[in-house]
């Protein structure tokens, strides 16, 4: 049963409709690489990794017939809560209410969206050893066999993002930095079916824990291995019945010298 500040939602006269963003992976906070001029060094040691706060919303319906409180008093009470515990079927979260928005209303019913901020996202699941397999692997874990994640599409690796020409020179020489200075990226369109909320929580928690570890993530794809690291989080979207989808972006370690691409992320 969903609780906010140790009180059931029914105490506030609220009925749960759903969540948006509660299972999202946060993005890295602060510097994620150091630019040496002719190459970029990823910062992946434990002491270099910090995570941004996470925002997600709770969608509810207020039915004034279920409580002797008014909508205004409920909104004021929830808005003035200190940082508190939100208990849900997807886990417990230490949150602060950021905003409450009225979506629409009809007679005695008002639909609300309560926006929360989780200041310190929890990435503390316990990982067991990988089952592995012959599919797409991450640190030896098979996306399908270990996490039930189906890769619907992988963006071709020959895609190289382009940035504008930089005027900075390399090591105080006349050599101009390359205009190809973004990391190559694995872009994976992922989907996952689940049978229960507890299964979904357990699996996504373990996958996010793996992504949050220090060091590189080794992706094995088409018989080649690549050192990768995560900087951008991802949004988990509920689609259909008992299915989620998300897009995972993993930077591939590389050196950029002149306008050429020198791969340095291959693992023998």
DSSP one-letter string for 148-161: -EEEEEE--TT---
Task: Pull the structure tokens for residue 42.
Answer: 């990823």
Report the distance separating Cα 176 and Cα 167, nearest Å.
6
Residue 51 DSSP label? B
Task: Pull the structure tokens for residue 192.
Answer: 């996952």
Sketch out the chain's domains with CATH numbers: 3-27+52-118 (3.30.70), 125-263 (2.40.30.200)
Summarised one tens digit per residue, pLDDT across range 41-54 is: 899 999 999 999 99
What number is the average pLDDT over the span 171-178? 50
Report the distance separating Cα 231 and Cα 66, nearest Å.
45
What number is the average pLDDT over the span 104-131? 94
Q: What's the pLDDT band for 263 if we cut at 50, 70, 90? A: very low
* 134 vs 169, higher pLDDT: 134
Helical residues (DSSP H) of the chain, grouped into ranges: 71-79, 143-147, 197-212
* 257 vs 200, higher pLDDT: 200
Summarised one tens digit per residue, pLDDT across range 51-97 is: 999 999 999 999 888 888 899 999 999 999 999 999 999 999 999 99
Q: Is 20 exposed, middle or buried (0-12, 13-18, 19+ CB in 10 A)?
A: middle
Q: What's the pLDDT band for 267 if we cut at 50, 70, 90? A: very low
Pair type for strands 7-8 and 14-20:
unpaired
Inter-residue contact 27 to 20 (CB < 8 Å)? no
* 266 vs 139, higher pLDDT: 139
Mean pLDDT (the chain) is 87
């Amino acid at each position: 049963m969903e609780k906010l500040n140790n009180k059931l939602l029914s105490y506030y006269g609220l009925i749960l409709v759903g969540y948006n963003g509660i299972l999202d992976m946060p993005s890295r906070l602060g510097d994620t690489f150091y630019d040496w001029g002719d190459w970029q060094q990823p910062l992946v040691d434990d002491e270099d990794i910090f995570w941004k706060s996470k925002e997600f919303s709770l969608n509810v319906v207020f039915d004034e017939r279920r409580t002797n409180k008014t909508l205004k008093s409920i909104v004021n009470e929830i808005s003035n809560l200190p940082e508190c515990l939100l208990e849900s079927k997807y886990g417990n979260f230490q949150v602060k209410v950021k905003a409450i928005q009225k979506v629409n209303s009809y007679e005695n019913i008002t639909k609300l969206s309560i926006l929360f901020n989780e200041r310190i996202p929890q990435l503390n699941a316990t990982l067991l050893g990988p089952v592995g397999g012959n599919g797409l692997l991450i640190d030896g874990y098979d996306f399908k066999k270990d996490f039930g994640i189906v890769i619907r599409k992988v963006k071709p690796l020959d895609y190289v993002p382009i940035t504008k020409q930089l005027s900075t020179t390399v090591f105080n020489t006349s050599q101009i930095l390359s205009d190809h200075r973004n990391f190559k990226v694995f872009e994976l369109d992922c989907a996952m079916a689940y049978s229960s909320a507890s299964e979904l929580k357990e699996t996504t928690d373990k996958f996010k824990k793996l992504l949050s570890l220090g060091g590189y993530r080794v992706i094995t794809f088409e018989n080649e291995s690549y050192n990768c690291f995560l900087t951008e989080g991802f949004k988990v979207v509920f689609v259909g019945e008992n299915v989620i989808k998300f897009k995972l972006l993993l930077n591939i370690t590389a050196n950029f010298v002149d306008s050429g691409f020198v791969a340095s992320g291959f693992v023998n």
